[in-house]
Amino acid sequence: MWPDLIRKAKEGGLDAIETYVFWNAHEPLRRQYDFTGNLDLIRFLKTIQDEGLYSVLRIGPYVCAEWNYGGFPVWLHNQPGIEIRTANSVYMDEMQNFTTLIVDMVKQEKLFASQGGPIILAQIENEYGNVISSYGDAGKAYMNWCANMAESLDIGIPWIMCQENDAPQPIINTCNGWYCDQFTPNNENSPKMWTENWTGWFKSWGGKDPFRTAEDLAFAVARFFQNGGTFQNYYMYHGGTNFGRTAGGPYITTSYDYDAPLNEFGSLNQPKYGHLKELHGILHSIEKTITYGNISSIDFGNSVYATIYQLNDTSSCFFGNTNTTTDATVTYQGVDYQVPAWSVSILPDCKNVVYNTAKVNTQTSVMVKKINEAEDEPASLKWSWRPQVIDDTVVLGKGQVSASQLIDQKVTNDVSDYFWYMTSVNLDKDDPIWTDDMSLRVNGTGHVVHAFVNGEYLGSQWASYGIFNYVFEKKVKFNPGNNQLTLLSATIGLQNYGARFDLIDTGLPGPIEIIGKKGDESIIKDLSKHKWSYKVGLNGLDNELVYADKKFASQWQSENLPINKMMTWYKTTFKAPLGEDPVVVDMQGLGKGLAWVNGNSLGRYWPSFIAEDGCSTKPCDYRGSYDNSKCVKNCGQPTQRWYHVPRSFMKEDDNELVLFEEFGGNPSLVNFQTIRPGSVCGSAYENRDMELSCYGRVISDIKFASFGDSQGTCGSFEKGSCEATNDALSIIQNACVGKESCTVPATESVFGSTNCGKGVSKRLLVEAVC
């Protein structure tokens, strides 16, 4: 997908692609490196270069990014004597080794701008200023060491540190956030740079879908450049998918769509993509003036202000209105200009408004899912199955190692989500704890725990994003004599952010206790210091059931398909959907687990985790500061029902889907679908062109068309109080139906005069079917 994504980014008006470097992906085991396939960093940078774009290389190597363990390899945690992200020689040696490795690779290929390459900036560390106070003097010393170490690598381009107000010279400190127009660098000679403009937000299991309007995002960008900004990067412009076990959190979803201008599947997220593309074009047209021009400003009061950039005989103006409800009239050089609330108008010649952030003149695309037309019965896949053999662990308690203590799951270097804790407990009826009212109490870390006693399933528990511990407690019936207790811990991504996030417990830190209740008295037996046996992973993963050509791949059953049975493997074949549209697999009916297509991991799935309530039924108002609780969607629905299947994962003929169902579910509803625009809605203010495109398909029908003061959102437009005299519907039908795209001027010469009053902002609204 790289060339297509990069080409679309360039077409969207971007000049550079910013990327992290993920330490845990490239050095999964100490001194064992992987730069193959999708991890080929050099190939990625050269693909950017081939498209004629610049690059910003954020080496970190701590990256956050809602990525597992913040991008750190977990073996780092297990190095003797290490303290991470502070003045600790063990950590600094490892960090310098990896950073130097990356720099040397890039130098060898002559990819730094100082060598004629595309990389214009490099970043060391990441948002350390947000946590530096927690590390005291050692944190300050570490930050200065990072700067000196980076500079010693002599790459010939500037190094940056984001969110680090006291970054030492010559390191440039930069801003991250939803808005950075008020940010000021710590050195008056440093450029004002915004390394992360958050285009939306990430999603967590049980959380709502984020939505940031195109109007507000454009407003943030325009305000930044109005106030002296020189460099701005979108985080994310394309978020994509957390394939495999890369999602962090814990509880970050497999989808990392982020409501970005290019959606998870690489398609245009309209109108956000188009509205920003138009803004980028305007900014490029005045780039020289706003880079080198003299700056003056006029404060009109009531949060309305003008900024004028002047270079020789050329002037460019920004009119800003940061009111959240009140539109403003700006009088400049004898001319009145209307500036809507929470918007910026750009006048490249200080006379004519060519762009206002609140006025979207690009189409909205409503994406729909279509059945897999390559299958005769696309909703009825044929399944085989096999159980996850767990008798050795659940019944017999056989492990790989043992210890007389509870150990943190990170000791396994995070090679699997799954880690078994097993012990035996000898009880007799004379034991003080023995009663008819006994329970098992387990202190967990917020991840999933499944409990078994004497081979019988007792129960499970999990938490949600931001919860790092809970207590699982359930009544249990023990047998006189020996009892086998087995606990399966299942991680959902390791913590990726915060001061000393690397030390947050994973797995089952305990205490783990048996409680016997006798009337008002509770007697507790602490098992934490018992001899515990441990086992990493699952037999099915060890036996490589996800690969069709492996030894155990043939041992599947096709009869008596179990449903709602935990710890079960399922397998089916399917044909790749026709065409080139993005492909998703609908996991409705399943619980939680892992999925693979032709051995390629799609990531974790969890459609049974329902998103919390709290969505508003009112249309989203772009006005006012955005945060991730504003304009949310998808309440009361599965957090994530559909999962991305890249076409590069599939073959032309039969393909294989393998599922490990951890909770228990019904695979009969699973099916493959494609995603494409179902309807598109055009919007153009008066004297602008209304453009519609079905992206390779024809426009088959026009459901709504009006030129006047119509209101509403795509799919629910309504005519307003005034409208043009000509029949807008027939005009648009004649111009657009049967075509892949069309352009119609939003003018009275086309649609006739209107009876709209003075000051009414007229626009053409159209809803078309693809």
Contact 459, 474 (CB under 8 A): yes
Nearest CA-CA partner of 453 in 440, 463, 462, 471 = 440
Distance CA(645)–CA(658), nearest Å, equals: 13
Dist CA 347 CA 344 (whole Å): 10
Q: How far is the C-alpha of 75 from the C-alpha of 77, rounded, in Å?
A: 5
| CA-to-CA separations, 114 to 107, 149, 156, 516, in angstroms, rounded | 10, 19, 5, 71
Say how far apart CA 316 and CA 294 lie, in whole Å: 10
Q: Which string of b and e fits 119-154 if b means at least 16 CB within 10 Å?
A: bbbbbbbbbbbbbbeebeeebeebbeebbebbeebe
Q: Single out the catalytic residue among 83, 127, 264, 686.
A: 127
**From 83, 94, 125, 196, the catalytic residue:** 196
Q: How far is CA 612 from the centre of its chain?
A: 18
Helices (H), 158-265: 214-226
- What are 292's two structure tokens? 């080198």
Nearest to 272 by CA among 323, 247, 225, 237: 237
Asked if 27 is an active-site residue, the reply is no
Distance between first and last Cα of the chain = 25
Distance CA 303, CA 311 (A): 26
The pairing of beta strand 119-124 with beta strand 159-162: parallel
Token digits of residue 491: 């991680």
Whether 127 is catalytic is yes
Distance (Å, whole) CA 303 – CA 315: 23
Two structure tokens written together for 113: 């701008």
CA dihedral 646, 649, 652, 654 (to 10 degrees): -120
Distance CA 262, CA 716 (A): 24
Is the sign of the CA dihedral 556, 561, 562, 564 positive or negative?
Answer: positive
Of 642, 669, 659, 662, the C-alpha closest to 571 is 659
Cα-flanking dihedrals φ and ψ of residue 284, to 5°?
Answer: -65, -35
Per DSSP, the three-state class of 220 is helix
Tokens of 688: 């602008």
Q: Which residues pair with 532 in a beta bridge?
A: 403
CA angle at residue 659 from 655 to 660, to 5 degrees?
A: 155
What would the 3-class secondary structure string for 163-226 be? CCCCCCCCCEEEEEECCCCCCCCCCCCCCCEEEEEECCCCCECCCCECCCCHHHHHHHHHHHHH
Cβ atoms of 411 and 78 within 8 Å: the answer is: yes
Taking every pair of Cα atoms in the chain, the longest distance, rounded to a whole number of angstroms, is 98
Region for residue 433 given its phi and psi (left: phi exceeds 0; alpha: psi -120 to 50; beta: otherwise): alpha
Q: Which residues are catalytic?
A: 127, 196
